[in-house]
Amino acid sequence: MGSTPRLKLDGGIPNQLARVPAAAGALEHDGYDGGWTAETNHDPFLPVLLAAEHTSRLEVGTNIAVAFARNPMIVANIGWDLQAYSQGRFILGLGTQIQPHIEKRFSMPWSHPAPRMREFVAALHAIWSAWTDGTKLRFEGDFYTHKIMTPMFTPEPQPHSAPKVFLAAVGETMTEMCGEVADGHLGHPMVSKRYLEEVTLPALLRGMQRSGRDRGVFEVSCEVLVATGESDDELALACAAVRKQIAFYGSTPAYRKVLELHGWGDLHTELHRLSLAGEWDTMGSLIDDEMLAAFAVVGPVDSIAAGLKGRCEGAVDRVLPIFLTASQPCITAVVKEFRE
């Protein structure tokens, strides 16, 4: 019987470009396996370029880039170039965002998110195939059409395969589709261990079975909120910050089903009401200790590595701990113990 695969440890890469070289280098030096950028208040791809330039081993990727704010050709080109420059270390992590942001922030169309994302991934692979083996580009779907590719617009060959595509998904439909067409799954912090085991993993496996793939060729990643500190006061501060973050996520309709699995559907209703009233600072008080433990690893610094492994080993392939308040010495101590 084979041993359990090694759990990969990932970290975050800041989106402020001036901070990226030192931060990415530190992740590699400290023994992290991967570094991820996010699309929030800055572009997610430019930091990946800098991170790749200042590391040699670290996998680098987007977690996530908003797919529906772009088209497959643009993303295929960026992914191709980052894969070449990183010497095969780039992971293209995509997500849908939610309808108001796509329509009102990005001014792009929104409809049928799971079929649209499936088609987006298929279009990426069609474009990359045209560049890799000369396959005539004739992609025509319900949402995207790509039928022109001339030598002038074809990137030069590279020695690496096309980048892996990971998809963010929480709901069963999107998660099942992810298991069918993607190379990996990007989990969300608002996913409990129970939801992961009872909903996410079974949905991914159903998708893999549909495409005739084995679990061993697919990577499952999870983000885990961490509340820790070197003193009781620091731990209390961390717990308060994590409660507030859980409350923020819990107010969003997209995560209602996660709460409902635990019998906390009414909590979403109240959090959503408070968010509409702008009462963000009071929402965290509704997250009790049981809820905190469901969504976070909580405890003194020397307990966190074991807590992360206990939550993730055997279920997922890589974990991204989210430290909201912990000092760098605390984080370094956790990483060191995680690697021992």
Confidence at 340, pLDDT banded by 50, 70, 90: confident
Q: Give how many domains the chain has, as a whole number.
A: 1
List, in order, residues 6 or more apart from 212 with CB less than 8 Å away.
none
Domain annotation covers residue 251? no
Domain annotation covers residue 259? no
Tokens for 243? 């409660």
Domain residues for 24?
A: 8-227+300-339
pLDDT at 3: 53
pLDDT at 5: 75
Nearest to 102 by CA among 130, 67, 60, 133: 67
- Kindly report, residue by residue over 14-73, the tens digit of the pLDDT: 999 999 999 999 999 999 999 999 999 999 999 999 999 999 999 999 999 999 999 999
Tokens for 36? 């991820």
Domain annotation covers residue 289? no
Query: In this model, does residue 2 exceed pLDDT 50?
Result: no
| Bridging pattern class, strands 145-146 and 139-140 | antiparallel
Is the distance from CB of 55 to CB of 28 less than 8 angstroms?
Answer: yes
Q: Match 């009233």 to its residue by tokens.
A: 277
**Inter-axis angle of helices 265-276 and 232-250, to 10 degrees?**
90
- Kindly report, residue by residue over 185-225, the tens digit of the pLDDT: 999 999 999 999 999 999 999 999 999 999 999 999 999 99
Distance CA 62, CA 272 (A): 29
Domain annotation covers residue 188? yes
Nearest to 25 by CA among 42, 13, 43: 13
Average pLDDT, integer, range 241-261: 96
Domain annotation covers residue 291? no
What's the Cα-to-Cα distance from 144 to each of 64, 98, 240, rounded to whole Å? 21, 19, 45
Confidence at 331, pLDDT banded by 50, 70, 90: very high
pLDDT at 263: 97
pLDDT at 327: 94
Tokens for 64? 């996530």
Domain annotation covers residue 239? no
Distance CA 305, CA 302 (A): 7
pLDDT at 102: 96
**What residue type is assigned to position 321 of the chain?**
P
pLDDT at 4: 61
Domain annotation covers residue 280? no
pLDDT at 309: 97
In angstroms and rounded to an integer, the radius of gyration of the C-alpha atoms of the chain is 20
Task: Round the average pLDDT of the chain to a whole number and report it.
Answer: 96
- Kindly report, residue by residue over 67-119, the tens digit of the pLDDT: 999 999 999 999 999 999 999 999 999 999 999 999 999 999 999 999 999 99
Q: What is the CATH number of the domain that holds 198?
A: 3.20.20.30
The structure's pTM equals 0.95
Is the distance from CB of 37 to CB of 47 less than 8 angstroms?
Answer: yes
Domain annotation covers residue 287? no
Q: Match 């930091």 to its residue by tokens.
A: 47
Confidence at 277, pLDDT banded by 50, 70, 90: very high
Q: What percent of the chain has pLDDT over 90?
A: 97
Confidence at 1, pLDDT banded by 50, 70, 90: very low
Q: Match 């809820």 to its residue by tokens.
A: 291
pLDDT at 138: 98
Strand partners, 101: none
